[in-house]
Structure 1
Amino acid sequence: MIPAMTPQTEQLEQTNREERRAAAEALLPELEDAGVTAVALPWVDTSGITRVKTVPLAKLPSAAAWGVGMSPVFDGFLLDDSIVAGRFAGSAVGDLRLHPDLSRLVVLAGQPGWAWAPVDRFTQAGQPHVQCSRSLLRRQVAALAEAGFTVKAAFEVEWVVARPDGLPDDPDAFVPALSGPAYGMTRLAEVSDYARDLMDALAEQGVVVDQFHPEYAGGQLEVSVGALDPVGAADTALLVRNTITAVSAQHGLRVSFSPKVTADGVGNGGHVHLSLWRDDENLMSGGDGAFGLTADGEAFTAGLLQHLPGLLAVGAPSVASYLRLVPSHWAGAYAAWGLENREAALRFVTGPDGNRQSSANVEVKSFDLAANPYLLMAGCLAVGLAGVRAGSRLPDPVGVDPASLSDEGRREAGIRALPATLAEAVQAFESDEVLAEAFGEELAATVVDVRNGEIALFEGTSPEAVCRAVRWKH
């Protein structure tokens, strides 16, 4: 139940509203000079689809002050735009207000005339919407701060570029727009102008690109960006994908971020990098634990590993995700960790000698880009903090592909297979008390209802048909 506003809170809200309006009005001259006509206001639904409303530039102060109306029904949307009648979502009744975060407003280099500002969703009474994933992430960041910690985070983004017209008899078929070999200079030459324009657009938008390269699958590319605060990392993941889509369209290309574009392909990952900090000290380095982990850094990592099965319900949230999450495909199909082990679910990265205090981090390889990045990051922070509070310890690191071991060998090493289906991940999520408490009753129930809705949607569907159905959704 949302508490009624007292006269004091009403006055505070009025003051905040006037401050937000003034801040937006102060931005108008600069945005006008940049040629901005309208502002996109995106958020991400439970299925990982980015939804949007827009306002003309002149209406930005009003949007900042009062928000923009939007139905809460999208919390119950599936990826095919059908709606789940969930326990707390999917109703046609009610309205929310989308409030743009002006501190994250960006002029879009790949879409002339447009600016972009992610939103927080509020009720009409001015309270954070209980199912707003961005607000959830803010709360988890605050919980970490209260415990004396911060986290630096980044998402890797993999995608494929395709010919826009598919095949003559199948316009939605995937036909790679690149023919060069994996990681090959030939492929880079094919994509040279496109990659240049993409990196120029990202730089113009203030996104720090660490690396860009051709990837393994047909037509596949990857970009890695600099680490930020968790909310900033999730915002940037959205912005990077939007920019990739826009620049690709300018070059006559179609893109897919789907976890499995074709049934026989390796799929697109959405790996997450995390490091735990206290003040200016990176707790993933400089300690007495394995590979330099401090006790808190180890406990944070152990929390991730322990709760990874349940986390997959938000980090690998599609039926298609489990066509990608298979052994010996560098997807991290086993709950194990190891130094630079790309087959372990958690790859520990020390960085080079002399730079470890800055660069040491843990990479979670099991996630993909069907995920809502705010939900996923919030879950990671919650279980990591739970590990710190419990003083959790990691098992022995694994230095081989876990699939190369016998069943008995994996049992002796304490290596578990991660959920092999979305249904198994949902079951793990439902039994995870840490995630249930962090997400709250309504949001946790909606995650389960939407995931079960997708499971029912693809009941009895072949892998090929699943890939086709999700190919152009993410």
Structure 2
Amino acid sequence: MVDQPEFGDERQNAHTLRIVDSAERDQRFERATELFDGLHARNVSVVALTWVDNSGITRTKSVPLRRLAHAAAHGVGASPVFDVFLFDDWIIQGRFAGGPVGDLRLHPDLDRLTVLAGQPGWAWAPADRHFQSGVPYPMDQRLQARKAVRTLAEQGLTARAGFEIEWCVGKTGTEDWVPATSGSAYGHARQVELSDYCVDLLNALDQQDVEVLQFHPEYAPGQFEISTTPEDPVAAADTAVLVKETVRAVTIRHGLRPSFSPKVVNGGVGNGGHLHLSLWRDGTNLFDGFQDEARRFSAGVLTHLRALCAIGCPSLASYLRLVPNTWAAPFVAWGEENRETALRLVRDNLEIKCFDLTANPYLVVAGVIAAGLDGIATGAGLPEGLNVDPALLGDVQRLPTSLKEAVDEFEEDAVLTEAFGRELAGTIADVRRGEMERYKDASPQGIANITRWRH
């Protein structure tokens, strides 16, 4: 069994990340042991350790509570083959990952250990993947986000981020889409119809210490949205995972079914996964007043946005959503409070509106930070903001209109591929091309059907 396959220079990508050594293993064991009594008193029996793959699916290995200390110290085995899973569990052979050989260790982040209010008896912790030796795995997406945050810190910067989570609630008993509500878009009637469900969901998030800024019905039939408070970017990605899985758990317990797909029904309004991000230096929010550094950061994001679509709009279904006149923001442009430009400047943060929830949130924050830092480093200039619908102008560049177009842009983007590293960048592209090949003959509605319930 190969413990540490060769990654060449890619090992340098993890040089700022802590190697799990024997002293740290002991510390983790002791800390998890100290947590046991409190978890047991709250009737926790099982702890789910999750990571998110390159197709945006949350994967997991779980341990009984009595094995948590061992898992914290030594990790839980997981094959690296998960890096080449497609969203439908089809496994491809990538250039840098795939096949039955190798083993990694999942190390739960005990700082984020959460008792799950929507799944009685369960707790949850996001996991980082390492080799058995303790060396960080260069293709781990959460570690990639950590690295991006450390790169920010090296330049005296920090960031605060948060995701908007949109989903549609459907009825069970059919693979087709039947919304669970008949209330109007943004209408209170929709909340009245699912009043108990909404309360249970918000109570569950509150019990899990997720601070919800707002909750409301959205435009599409049966659609809702939650926005959470800004956090460190890695924590924000963790929260996005936790919110999605809490929505899933509470929805299922109410006899309903959630869909986070970018396009539940072809031709309808889809679900987004907008990222909000602010940049800070010396305790000052650089987006408050849109200071020069924030402008250059935004210019970097805008410059690399077409390539970033391979990260933030990573599925075939994403391009059913990215069409004009649906407020999906399919244009390479920015504007102050403009909901049809891909970048929307809000009062004190930048909203990236084109992304959706088939994306891995850790890759999203890592990619956006890399693009923004490139803008700062190169002194990138921001074009004039738009205060009209870009579709009315006729000459505003579109975001990619297909997954192939996005992947081509990504592979040609030296800044992003260098930031992710050759192996991770190549594997992301391999997975995207695997999805394209597998569903090359599918109709738009067929793509919506196969994606509807996967994320």
- Aligned counterpart for 2:277 among listed residues 274, 277, 281: 274
Residue 391 (structure 2) aligned to one of 387, 400, 403: 403
Q: Is the CA contact (8 Å cut-off) linking 2:48 and 2:122 kept in structure 1?
A: yes
Deviations 1:390-414 (A, max 9, x none): 12121000011111113xxx2xxxx
1:356 aligns to what? none
Is it true that 1:462 corresponds to 2:432 in the alignment?
no
User: Aligned pair in 2 of structure 1 residues 335, 381: CA closer, same or farther (>3 Å)?
Assistant: same
Q: 1:215 aligned to 2:218?
A: yes
Query: Do residues 424 (structure 1) and 421 (structure 2) align?
Result: no
- Aligned residues with identical type, % of pairs: 55
Question: In 2, are the aligned partners of 1:333 and 1:345 still within 8 Å (CA)?
Answer: yes
Residue 373 of structure 2 aligns to a residue whose secondary structure is helix
Gaps of 5+ in 1: 5-9, 166-170, 286-291, 351-359
> What do residues 331-390 of structure 1 show as CA deviations (whole Å, max 9, x unaligned)?
11100000100000001001xxxxxxxxx0010011000000001110001111111111
Q: Please say which of residues 186-195 and 443-452 is displaced more in the overlay.
A: 186-195
State the shift of 1:216 in Å.
0.2
Conservation of the 8 A alpha-carbon contact between 2:7 and 2:423: no
Report the counterpart of residue 133 of structure 2 in structure 1.
125
The alignment partner of 1:196 has SS state of: helix
**Displacement of 1:91:** 1.6
The 1:57/1:430 distance shift into structure 2, 3 A limit, reads: same
- Taking the TM superposition and a 5 Å limit, the aligned residue runs for 1:41-190 are 41-165=49-173, 171-190=174-193
Counterpart residue identity of residue 444, structure 1: A
Alignment counterpart, residue 195 of structure 1, candidates 178, 186, 198: 198
- 1:235 deviation in Å? 0.1
Q: Separation in 1 of the partners of 2:319 and 2:381?
A: 28
Q: Which residue, out of 322, 331, 342, partners 2:319?
A: 322
Aligned pairs (5 A) from 1:277-292? 277-285=280-288, 292=289
Give the distance between the partners of 1:207 and 1:74, measured in 2 at CA. 28
CA distance in 2, matches of 1:203, 1:175: 29
Q: Deviations over 1:109-133 (max 9, x none)?
A: 0000000000000011111111100
Aligned-residue offset at 1:11: 11
Q: Give, as a single letter, the amino acid of the residue that structure 1 aligns with 2:53.
A: D
Residue matched to 1:258: 261
In structure 2, do the counterparts of structure 1 residues 248 and 115 end up closer, same or farther at CA, with 3 Å as the change threshold? same
Contact 1:38–1:54 (CA under 8 A) maintained in structure 2:
yes
Question: Which one-letter code corresponds to 2:163 in the other structure?
Answer: F
Name the residue aligned to 1:312: 309
Native 8 Å contact 2:328 2:354 kept in 1: yes
Q: Following the alignment from structure 1 to structure 2, what is the Cα–Cα distance between the partners of residues 389 and 405?
A: 31
Distance in 2 separating the partners of 1:188 and 1:248: 14
Alignment equivalent of 1:294, drawn from 288, 291, 294: 291
Partner-residue secondary structure (3-state), 1:25? helix
Letter in 1 for 2:306: P
Show the counterpart of 1:7: none
RMSD: 1.3
- Counting only pairs closer than 5 Å after superposition, residues 314-393 of structure 1 correspond to structure 2 as 314-350=311-347, 360-393=348-381
CA contact (8 A) 2:20 2:134 kept: no
Q: Deviations over 1:448-469 (max 9, x none)?
A: 0000000111102101110100
Q: Which runs of 4+ in 1 moved over 4 A?
A: none
Quote how far apart the aligned CAs of 1:279 are: 2.2
Secondary structure of the structure 2 residue equivalent to 1:81: coil
Contact 2:48–2:62, Cα closer than 8 Å, also in 1: yes
Q: What is the CA–CA distance in structure 2 between the aligned matches of 1:457 and 1:11, rounded to whole Å?
A: 38
SS at 1:388 equivalent: helix
Q: Which of the residues 193, 216, 232 maps onto 1:229?
A: 232
What is the distance in 2 between the residues matched to 1:11 and 1:402?
48
1:244 lines up with 2:247 in the alignment: yes
* Alpha-carbon distance in structure 1 between the residues aligned to 2:43 and 2:400: 49
Q: 1:321 to 1:37 in 2, by over 3 A?
A: same
Tell me how many residue pairs correspond in the alignment.
442
Structure 2 vs 1, CA of residues 12 and 111 (structure 1 numbering), >3 Å: closer, same or farther? closer
CA distance in structure 2 between the aligned counterparts of 1:304 and 1:431, rounded to whole angstroms: 16
Q: CA-to-partner distance for each residue in 1:1-59, whole Å, 9 max, x for gaps? A: 4799xxxxx99711010001001001000000000001000100010000001000000
Residues 263-303 of structure 1: CA deviation (Å, up to 9, x unaligned): 12111000000100012100002xxxxxx211101011111
Q: Is the 8 A contact 2:302 2:332 kept in 1?
A: yes
- SS of match in other structure, 2:105: strand
| CA–CA separation in structure 2 for the residues paired with 1:128 and 1:262 | 40
Report if aligned partners of 1:2, 1:127 keep a CA contact under 8 Å in 2: no
Structure-2 separation of matches of 1:128 and 1:326: 39
> 1:418 and 1:46 mapped to 2: Cα distance?
21
Query: Alpha carbons of 1:186 and 1:432: their partners in 2 closer, same or farther (altered >3 Å)?
Result: same
CA distance in 1, matches of 2:132, 2:251: 38
Question: TM-score scaled by structure 2?
Answer: 0.96
- C-alpha distance in 2 between matches for 1:461 and 1:108: 38
Q: Tell me the secondary structure at the aligned position of residue 438 of structure 1.
A: helix
Whole-Å separation in 1 of the counterparts to 2:357 and 2:349: 20
Native 8 Å contact 1:162 1:176 kept in 2: yes
Alpha-carbon separation, structure 2, partners of 1:294 and 1:11: 37
